[in-house]
Chain A
Amino acid sequence: MPDAPVLEVRGLTVEYLTDAGPVRAVERFDLDILPGEFVGVVGESGCGKSTMLFGIAQLLSPPARVSEGSVRFRGHDLVTMTDRQLATTRWRDLSVVMQSAMNALNPVAQLGDQFADAMRAHGERSRATIRQRAEEVLALVGIDLVHLKSYPHQLSGGMRQRAMIAMALLFNPDLVIMDEPTSALDVVAQRSLMLQVKQLQQQLGFAVLFVTHDMSLVSHFSDRLVVMYAAKAVEIGSTKEIFANPGHPYTEGLLDAFPSIRGPRLPLTGIPGSPPNLLHPPVGCRFAPRCPKRFEMCDVEPPFYDAGTSRAACHLHALADKKVVQ
């Protein structure tokens, strides 16, 4: 029997209550993550990736709120947990790495002190233990121990992100949630951080939920991929299969938008238009207004179809007699 998922998200819906009305930034989102699995989530800016991660980690603050759905982490629903229960679970079992380390690290405290604060907040009293663990995690991410005495601004962008990851690993979590941790880095630093995360994941066995707007970034690292468009998942499947054989026209558009450094220099097409305003999303398939393959059925919201190698929310699969799945 396969392992039980470490995370089970069901029907997660997050709303921002604005003066103009509720904005649903995440709508009926489902996701299972198995122990040790690396799941990538891709989509254009504004499609709800960060909101979804914050909704899972229960880090939302007004005007955002989870309006529906459940997030079961190792069997317990985080949505209905008290703040106290959450405080122990978060970081210890499930930790979050933010987009910008500059915002997440305390600019006026040395790294070592920040590690110590985090451990004390979770009940660790022994200074020796704290010191030893801080050294262990820094070594894990390949940062020299002299930097325990460094302030964040003294580190390069790549090192700051690695320090963030070291912090996230302090308690040996089962799941690490990452929100575009490499978006401020250049290609070389990006690649080295991705390799680092993958290596740590294999070594320590935690699962990763990794969000990015750059699909090429996760191509070699994630086991499974979720493609998001306008607050909804539109395709889910194995990363390899989706890259080889995208089941949704939006995924196809994202892939065609990538300049490749090898092979023939093809003209880049991209995706015309821009994503909808989530205050008034289009009825039916939300991608239809930009879709080169739209047809009559697209006025109705598509269910997920079994597209063979992945599940995709696109009516084209109905034409090919594929089955609706849930």
Chain B
Amino acid sequence: MSRHYTEGAPLLETRGLTRHFKVGGAIARKTLHAVDDVEFTIRDREIVALVGESGSGKSTVARLLARVYRPTSGEIYYRGRALSSFRTRRDLLGYRSDVPMVFQDPFASLNPAYRVSHGIMRGLALHRPDIPRHQRRAEAERILERLGLDPAGEALDRFPYELSGGQRQRIGFAQALAYRPRLIVADEPVSMLDVSVRIGLLNLMAGLRDEQGVSILYITHDIASARYIADRIMVMYAGHLVESGPVEQVLQDPRHPYTQLLVAAVPDPRAELTVDKVDHGEPPKVVDPTPGCRFRWRCPWVEDVCHRITPELVELSPGHSAACHVAAARAGYGDVAVAVADSGDRH
């Protein structure tokens, strides 16, 4: 199968990735832009965090990667190969075992009627032909033990409802690991868990990267946790990527005003409360948008140009990009007027 893939290509890459939904009745048909023109790369042995408010399009990106949705336009490349060119069952199974998903609510991915062993053994049967049938149970126990579910034999015989939230989330990861993945797409995997359990899972993800070279797209609204495990971070607002870069750089020196708002909203017991104004802003539902920055209604820096032209991601320092006319101008990339001339008509 490897002959299909391009040598040296990044593990995963998206170009112009876009997903729209038709909304409204038959007469007032409208188009909701959940994800627009999103471009990013994930390399081997890398945790990339995708953060943003609810409704910003994070789960839609995850579902596009998991092929739950097809892109409206744009393309996803897995090891250099366009997903749209995957036709055979073998290709698709191969991709699904290389790139499994872990969901926020583990109940959604665990069949309540079956014992925990069922899903993991089924994954092994499908995706690990190298393991003979009589060794599957032992392999399943090995995986659970590695995730700290002890005694593993006992956990395998439980039903999902008999497990605590943290245990269920570990089972979600165990199912993904049974596939021997290259990239795990984890959509808010820890947001419902207690701090103490959450840390176990964060360390687990970091361990998968460090010890097995697995990459993870870590989707979350918990930016502080992203800081601890991610190498890079991407910020989404209203369907657009608005900032991306090395995690420390982005969090210590956020360039996009939205990223600044996000960072300021993170509760930090060790710091004084800085924000004292109630911000009732919400990410807009992007329906039939006209050009312009989607953050402009909430933006403290808004300029004329922001109402007319959608800002593109501009690399402001090595590897660190933001999509903001004013931030670009401040970083010396021309003034706002020049940014006008340079921008395309992306919307």
Contact = CB atoms under 8 A, between A and B. Distances in A.
A187 B222 contact: yes
B196 A189 contact: no
A45 B198 CA distance: 12
A189 B279 CA distance: 8
Interface string A161-203: 0000000000000000000000001111111100110010000
A263 B266 CA distance: 13
A253 interface: yes
A188 B278 contact: no
B54 A263 contact: no
Given A261-B224, A262-B270, A186 B54 contact: yes
A195 to B, nearest CB: 5
B282 A214 contact: no
B217 interface: no
Interface string A98-140: 0000000000000000000000000000000000000000000
A270 B268 contact: no
A220 B199 contact: no
Nearest to B203: A268
Contact of A191 (B54, B165, B275): B275
A261 B269 CA distance: 10
Given A259-B227, A260-B268, A261-B268, A213 B55 contact: no
Contacts of B197: 270, 274
A265 interface: yes
Interface in B250-288: 251, 261-263, 265-273, 275-282
A243 B222 contact: no
A69 interface: no
B278 A195 contact: yes
Given A188-B262, A220-B267, A274-B166, A258 B224 contact: yes
Nearest to A184: B54
A188 B265 contact: yes
B130 interface: no
A259 B251 CA distance: 13
Given A187-B222, A271-B196, A274-B164, A255 B227 contact: no
Contacts of A25: none
B263 A192 contact: no
Contacts of A86: none
B263 A188 contact: no
B269 A270 contact: no
Nearest to A197: B278
B202 interface: yes
A260 B270 contact: yes
A195 B274 CA distance: 11
A142 interface: yes
Interface residues of A, number: 43
A192 B278 contact: yes
Contacts of A238: none
A257 B166 contact: no
Contacts of A215: 195, 269
B207 interface: no
Contacts of B273: 220
A258 B53 contact: no
Contacts of A269: 199
Interface in A200-234: 213-217, 219-220
A156 B266 contact: no
A312 to B, nearest CB: 18
Most buried by B among A190, A217, A219, A220: A220
Contacts of A257: 195-196, 198-199
B166 A261 contact: no
A196 B276 CA distance: 10
B200 interface: yes
B62 interface: no
A266 to B, nearest CB: 9
A146 to B, nearest CB: 14
A262 B268 contact: yes
Contact of B195 (A158, A187, A214, A263): A214
Contacts of B53: 186-189
B54 A216 contact: no
Nearest to A220: B273
A195 B276 contact: yes
B195 A142 contact: no
A142 B279 CA distance: 10
B54 A189 contact: yes
Contacts of A271: 196
B14 interface: no
26 contacts: A44-B195, A46-B164, A142-B278, A156-B55, A186-B221, A187-B221, A187-B262, A187-B266, A188-B265, A191-B265, A191-B275, A191-B279, A192-B265, A195-B275, A195-B278, A214-B195, A219-B269, A254-B196, A258-B195, A259-B225, A262-B268, A265-B228, A268-B202, A270-B198, A270-B199, A274-B164
Given A188-B261, A274-B166, 9 more contacts: A142-B280, A188-B53, A192-B278, A216-B267, A257-B196, A261-B223, A261-B227, A262-B270, A262-B271
Interface of B: 53-55, 164-166, 194-200, 202-203, 221-225, 227-228, 248, 251, 261-263, 265-273, 275-282
